[in-house]
Amino acid sequence: MPKISNLGARMPSSPIRKLAPLADAAKKEGVKVYHLNIGQPDLPTPQKALDALRQVSRKTLEYSPSEGYIGLREKLVGYYRKFNIDVRADEIIITTGGSEAILLGLMSCLDPEDEIVMVEPGYANYISFARTTHLTVKTVTSRIEDGFKLPPVEEFEKTITPKTKAILLCNPSNPTGYVYTPEELQQIKEIVVKHNLFLFSDEVYREFVYNGKPYLSALSLGIPEHVVMIDSVSKRYSECGIRVGMLVTHNKEVHDTVMKFCQARLSPPLLGQLVAEASIEGTQEYSRACFEEYKARRDFFIKGLNEIPGVYSPVPEGAFYTVASLPVEDAEAFCRWMLTDFRLNGETVMMAPAAGFYETPGLGKNQVRMAYVLEKEELAKALKVLKAGLEAY
């Protein structure tokens, strides 16, 4: 029998989705599963976006331009301006979700065997994207006891070699919810300039920054040729399924190189772009309501987590995730057990083992990532099930 590729063998399974077969099996038994494992918002998509989808009158669903429709890109210019991000429409490329934006950016800026520096824990798919593009991942570790703040500059310096080409940040952070301060971003800027690196900045959660902490885009750091910003409409408009993301850069050479890959894959999703364009303007009240709802969920959920004996979670400053430590030796084994063996009145909880968000073996073994994307009544029930599960385990 033919063998799969070495790359395929080395690709990690997603900690967010790899336990899904166990959850599916539980549901077939009639078990209610509270999904805390995935950042799938339950809030409704803006009505005007749904109306735009229903009112599509095209007789042919055609290819769009490889860089995306100009109407969507022009509306994004105005959207970014509200966050002190000054870009032109011809500096924005529409992609098939933020995932494709990261992949195309990595392929355009780094060669196989180049090194990229990431903060761990980080979004698990970053590691998969790096493997896909044959990059070597170096990590600096943020710690739960420090609230996952940026590690010291000296830790970054230790990782950098002549093969290092880029630093990748997520701000606000998935999975930790940490928001980098302007001072921390200034430190990153100095490292990027000193070593002539690219800075990939994933900023899809900018709408969700709590406690009045300032959000600063990497595109506002004054190093335009170094920065590649990644964005997506998935989370801010509850539109994960339309698969519309953005790659934004002032670096014309990067832009033009990314466009070669975009032309090779033809075009981003047509219907998704129509929905995204309809979402940008006239939805300020919608965005305010979403922000207030997620903040209330955060306050409720983190308080409840920290009231469970042995559980600890820092208070996330943004996004809608937290990484929490549990009083278990192996969080993945516990997560599996919750899905296969534990039921409280016919209910259980699904979480993402946090070890998959670390590149360093052994780290995060007693931690889980949880997304507070359920309404508070559901979160309360999930907390009750988790507490009972830990007691039984």
pLDDT digits (tens, 9 = 90+) for 159-210: 999 999 999 999 999 999 999 999 999 999 999 999 999 999 999 999 999 9
pLDDT for 83 equals 96
User: What pLDDT is recorded for position 5?
Assistant: 86
% pLDDT > 90, the chain: 94
> Would you kindly state where each structural domain of the chain is located, as residue ranges?
6-44+285-392, 49-280
What is the structure's pLDDT at 4? 83
Give the number of other CB atoms < 10 A from CB of residue 279: 27
Cβ neighbourhood burial of 141 (10 Å; 0-12, 13-18, 19+) = middle
Nearest alpha-carbon partner for 107 in 217, 221, 198, 173: 198
CA-based angle 181:186:190, to the nearest 5? 150
Which whole number is the average pLDDT over 30-37? 96
Tokens representing residue 132 in the block: 């896909």
Residue 17 pLDDT: 81
**Topology, domain 49-280:** Aspartate Aminotransferase; domain 2 (3.40.640)
- Predicted pLDDT of residue 174: 96
Q: What percent of the chain has pLDDT over 70?
A: 100
| Poorest-pLDDT segment among 16-20, 149-153, 360-364, 375-379 | 16-20
Determine how β-strand 321-325 pairs with β-strand 245-248: unpaired
Using CA atoms, how far apart are residues 335 and 250, in angstroms rounded to an integer? 43
In this prediction, residues 235-251 reach a mean pLDDT of 97
Task: Report the pLDDT averaged over residues 342-349.
Answer: 97
Kindly tell me if the per-residue pLDDT of 219 is higher than 90. yes
The values of phi and psi at residue 356, to 5°, are -70, -10
Show Cβ contacts of residue 323 under 8 Å, excluding neighbours closer than 6 positions. 121, 144, 148, 175, 176, 313, 314, 354, 357, 364, 367, 368, 369
Helix (H) or strand (E) holding 268: none
Pair 169, 201: CB distance under 8 Å: yes
pLDDT grade for 211, boundaries at 50, 70 and 90? confident
At the topology level, CATH places domain 6-44+285-392 in Aspartate Aminotransferase, domain 1 (3.90.1150)
Structure tokens at 240: 């994960």
**Could you give the 3-state DSSP secondary structure of residue 363?**
coil
The mean per-residue pLDDT over the stretch 232-255 comes to: 97
Of 15-29, 320-334, 344-358, the one with minimum mean pLDDT is 15-29
Q: Is residue 15's pLDDT more than 80?
A: no
6-44+285-392 and 49-280: same fold?
A: no
The overall average pLDDT reported for the chain is 96
The pLDDT score that the predictor gives to residue 236 is 95
Please report where in the chains the tokens 């006891």 appear, as a residue.
Answer: 145
Q: Which residue has the tokens 């921390």?
A: 184
Residue 10 has what pLDDT?
83
pLDDT tier, 14 (very low <50, low <70, confident <90, very high otherwise): confident
Residue 7: pLDDT band with limits 50, 70, 90: confident
Q: Which of 1-5, 54-58, 286-290 has the lowest mean pLDDT?
A: 1-5
Compute the average pLDDT of residues 95-119: 97
Tokens representing residue 357 in the block: 């968000």
**pLDDT at residue number 212:** 86
**Tokens of residue 352, six digits:** 């993402």
Q: Find, among 165, 188, 186, 198, the residue nearest to 119 by Cα.
A: 188
Residues making up the chain, counted from first to last? 393
DSSP string across 138-178: EEEE--GGGTTPPPPHHHHHHH--TTEEEEEEESS-TTT--
Per DSSP, the chain holds a count of helices (H) and strands (E) of 13, 12
Q: 369 has which bridge partners?
A: 323, 352
